[in-house]
Structure 1
């Protein structure tokens, strides 16, 4: 394993790897197609993300094989910096988005966190995928002393129960499930 973080992709990056539009990934996930198992993804703040290693291998797993764009793969790896190529069998570190951070610190609102991020008062995101910022849990926890030192009204005291659940992969709070909409909402995910 090289680096602290695995290379990851969201819907947009997954689609770019195969030169299709992002909605196609949702179609692959639909129960009627069954081409992409939702269980292959990790859910962060209610959105699915995949290890890049799996996303690259996916094209060989379908009945109609899909051609991987190696240039997109190289670009994604360069954009994400030093990391390692994870697959489904690899142990992914705990990752968090805004929903999990709000719960971990019992922040009064999403606006409190968004303001902190916008003011450069929060650690730089480890990933920016499909329009969303994601962090390693450890990146956020390592920043607690600095967050406390610069805080005016937020205590920045992590809830150990939430942190433990995130580390163990048992977190079931806000953002832990994808809320399916549309005609496939009745199918279990």
Structure 2
């Protein structure tokens, strides 16, 4: 009964980028809150090495006495309209991590089919072909409810000359029962997280430098469009 309820519950999630955007800031704010210990992963789903929080938790987190952060409710309503159109807002806000349905990303799908973690192109090609359509695209990453991913894998097997991807029952059961501890089940750390942060800083520095550089009329117009 609980699993069936989780499958049908309207779910609105945010990744690091969207979490910060709810409060009008850049993605690095979320990382800083985590580093300071004011935000953790207890109310997050960890999918393909990244954290995703239910929107109801995000608003409750910002409304605590020590924080009192004002959310951008227009943006929140936009997220709800995109992810759970027509859903009852109170129901959406009541969802917490322990009531989320099984959610998978690229790493979990590769583990589900016994494929090497480096074979992500199998999944991205299927996405481009429209046979494995994500339920969410958050903070630059695709996410699926487990049944959606399984249906997509079935469509991949039905394609002419497709590579047969066989679902491993034990992994499916672990994902369904929320006991999965394979690739993607832990937050990316160490070199992976450091490299990701370096890339974010590089992009920020490039943007600041571009704004400082003098440009002609054409360059000014381009800078305005990109900002």
Question: Same fold judged by TM-score > 0.5?
Answer: yes
Find the counterpart in structure 1 of residue 73 from structure 2.
Answer: 70
Contact 2:105–2:142 (Cα < 8 Å) also in 1: yes
Unpaired runs of at least 5, structure 2: 195-227
Change (3 A) 1:180 1:136: same
Higher-RCO chain (CA-CA 8 Å, sequence separation at least 6): 1
What TM-score, normalized to structure 1?
0.86
Contact 2:45–2:97 (Cα < 8 Å) also in 1: no
Find the counterpart in structure 1 of residue 175 from structure 2.
Answer: 166
Q: CA deviation at 1:143?
A: 3.3
Change (3 A) 1:156 1:133: same
Find the counterpart in structure 2 of residue 25 from structure 1.
Answer: 30
Q: Does 1:110 pair with 2:113?
A: no
Q: Does 1:79 pair with 2:82?
A: yes
Contact 2:112–2:168 (Cα < 8 Å) also in 1: yes
Aligned to 2:46, the other structure's residue is in SS state strand
Whole-Å separation in 2 of the counterparts to 1:146 and 1:89: 29
Change (3 A) 1:176 1:36: same
What TM-score, normalized to structure 2?
0.72
Q: CA deviation at 1:62?
A: 5.3
Aligned to 2:137, the other structure's residue is in SS state strand
- More deviation in 99-108 or 127-136? 99-108
Q: CA deviation at 1:14?
A: 0.7
Change (3 A) 1:62 1:174: farther
Find the counterpart in structure 1 of residue 107 from structure 2.
Answer: 99
Choose from 23, 37, 45 the match for 1:34: 37
Contact 1:35–1:62 (Cα < 8 Å) also in 2: no
Moved runs in structure 1, 4+ residues, more than 6 A? none
Find the counterpart in structure 1 of residue 20 from structure 2.
Answer: 15
Q: How many residues align?
A: 181
Q: Does 1:6 pair with 2:11?
A: yes
**Looking at CA atoms only, which structure, 1 or 2, has the larger radius of gyration?**
2
Q: CA deviation at 1:154?
A: 1.9
Q: CA deviation at 1:92?
A: 0.5
Q: Does 1:121 pair with 2:131?
A: yes
